[in-house]
Amino acid sequence: MVATVLKLRYRVLGNTLSRSVWQLIGFIAGALWAVSVLGMLVIGLVALSIFQGLEVARVVSVLGGALLVLGWIIAPVLVAGVDTTVDAPRLAPFPLSTRQIMQVLTATGITGIPGIATGIAALATIVLWLRWPIAAVVALPCIALGVLTCVVATRFMATLSAGLGQGRRGREVIGTIVLALLILSGPIVTSVLSLVDRGADLGVRFTQIAVAVSWTPLGAAWAVPGDIAAGEWLPALLKLLIALATVALLWVLWHRALEASITSPPRRSAAKARAGSLGWFGRMPTGGVGATWARSLTSWLHDPRYSRQLLIVPLLPIVFAFAGGIDGGLFLLSPLLIALMLAIVGYTDISYDGTAFTAVLAAGVRGRADRLGRTLGAAVIGIPITVVLTIVVVAITGRGETLPALLGGALGIVLAGYGVSAVSSALIVMPVAGPGDSPFKSVPGQSFLTSLSVFAVWGVCIVVSAPALVIALISVFTGQALLGWIALAVGVVVGIAAVVVGIVVGGRTLDRTGPDLLARMKAFPR
């Protein structure tokens, strides 16, 4: 049974890759990246085992292992997404017991690309214990236990998120909260680090943390070989029990969650607006521009795929404040980085329409009207955010004289971004998660394409906003207030010019490429 599903899963992967060259390239690039990271890791571990003693090996093993488990639990939301080729709802029609489904899902998790990579990385830690043969032998089952913890935990999280978020809204909220926690995890870790023994150097602090973590479900399995090597048999036994109990508990919890989710499939939450409440559609002027504007604004406010990107924005300065303090230059310049984030949010706007873009195309709206509507929708949200956050950041640092310069630089970047996006989104579409999809869903081949075109868009965006940016930076670092006002003027004027050019050029492009974009989106895997 398990073997059949595994075969099926690789067949699906093979078919997907053979269907599109770009996904194949993305897959190969991802595989190469994983192999190179693994190679460096193994080299590092070997070097560690040769040149360092037992204490360092124990710290590395525990902290590395704990991070791995943590990564398996939370990373799917942010970067990769769980592979949904085989998941519980798809297996539900077949005559399989819940236990069998769990076995199948665990097996597919271990044999997936991330699973294999994790397995190899974990096995490589054996070299750390080669000098202590008993520890090396014991390490093998402990590694298996650790990897199993990773896979079962990630599956449990996925099931839980589907079960908890019975409705559409619930799932979206969970995804957003997890993302926010993740972004703030940097500051959280720094503050934890500063909590333990302030006087000690970093190495001692890490050791203290490792000792604490080795008693938690995250680190227990990874700590056992090190304890044995050090001759601490009782702690080793206790930690092994903790690790076993962790997997057992996760398995039981997952069993319950899965049973609940299979017997009560996600209900439709009938979120009802009052009939006659038209939202933005009642306020905007009729016509292509007004209609697109209203829809774009509705998406920015209600579609989690847009609003989640907005959420990152106010968190950025907080991260910088923790990293470098509010007196640091990084915090003062964070409005510019916010602007860079905001500038690219809409660079492949039409991808988010998906095949619903048919409605736009069938209505025969001119490209220029569509571009203008989308830009207005983005600007109504983006410009106020930029201005307010810049003012707040400057107010906190108390360096009021830099406000015009920073405002000029930030607005210059955002407006240039709107101009560039107006053209780029008429040229580029890429597979994205659908509006109602689980935040855990991954879209194959997306990450490679995304990273390529994002950098291109950023490049153009920085070139266009360079005049304002350079003047603004000079003004901030030399303290010349007059230059700041010039930067503001240049940023706004050049930015608006970029938007106008972008709308005209992008509009003409869209008139030409519209049907081709739709044809490409229809061919995306669903």
Partner 1 sequence: MVPTGSFYGLVGPNGAGKTTTLSMATGLLRPDAGTVWVHGVDVWADPVAAKAMIGNLADGVRLFDRLTGEQLITYTAMMFGLPREEIAARTADLLTLMDLREAAGTIVADYSAGMTKKVALACALVHAPRLLVLDEPFESVDPVSAANIEDVLRGYTASGGTVIVSSHSMDLVQRMCDHVAVIAAGSVLAAGTVDEVRAGETLQDRFVSLVGGRHVSEGPQWLRQS
Q: Which residues bind partner 1 (CB under 8 A)?
A: 168, 268-279, 281-282, 284-288, 290-292, 294-295, 298-299, 302-303, 353-356, 358-366, 434-436, 511, 515-516, 518-519, 522
Which C-beta is closer to partner 1: that of 216 or that of 298?
Answer: 298
Comparing CB distances to partner 1, the nearer of 363 and 392 is 363
Q: How far is residue 2 CA from its own chain's centroid?
A: 31
Q: Write the DSSP assignment of 227-239 as a string of letters.
A: HHHTT-HHHHHHH
DSSP 3-state of 488:
helix
CB of 509 to partner 1, least distance (A): 15
**In the complex, minimum distance from the CB of residue 512 to partner 1, in angstroms, rounded to a whole number:** 10
> Is the CB of 213 or the CB of 289 nearer to partner 1?
289
CB-wise, 3 or 275, nearer to partner 1?
275
Nearest to 420 by CA among 312, 318, 493, 495: 495
Q: 223-255: string of b/e by CB count within 10 Å (b at 16+)? A: bbbbbbbbeeeebbeebbebbeebbeebbeebb
Amino acid letter, 176: T
Instruction: Choose between 291 and 488: whose C-beta lies nearer to partner 1.
Output: 291
CB of residue 219 to partner 1, shortest distance in Å: 42
Asked whether 489 and 409 are in contact (CB, 8 A), the reply is: no
Please answer whether residues 360 and 507 qualify as being in contact, where contact means their C-beta atoms are separated by less than 8 angstroms: no
Q: What are phi and psi of 441, to 5 degrees?
A: -80, 135
Residue 364 CB, shortest distance to partner 1, in Å, is 3
Of 97 and 286, nearer to partner 1 (C-beta) is 286
Of the pair 129, 306, the CB lying nearest partner 1 is at 306
Q: How far is the CB of 276 from partner 1 (least distance, A)?
A: 7
Min dist. Cβ of residue 279 to partner 1 (A)? 6
| Per-position DSSP letters for 141-203, written without gaps between them | HHHHHHHHHHHHHHHHHHHHHHHH--SHHHHHHHHHHHHHHHHHHHHHHHHHHHHS-TTS-HH
Residue 441, SS3? strand
Contacts (Cβ under 8 Å, ≥6 apart) of 380: 297, 300
Cα–Cα distance measured from residue 236 to residue 382, given in angstroms and rounded to the nearest whole number: 54
Q: How far is the CB of 370 from partner 1 (least distance, A)?
A: 9
| Of 249 and 359, CB closest to partner 1 | 359
Minimum Å gap between C-beta 18 and partner 1 is 21
In contact, 340 and 410? CB cutoff 8 Å:
no
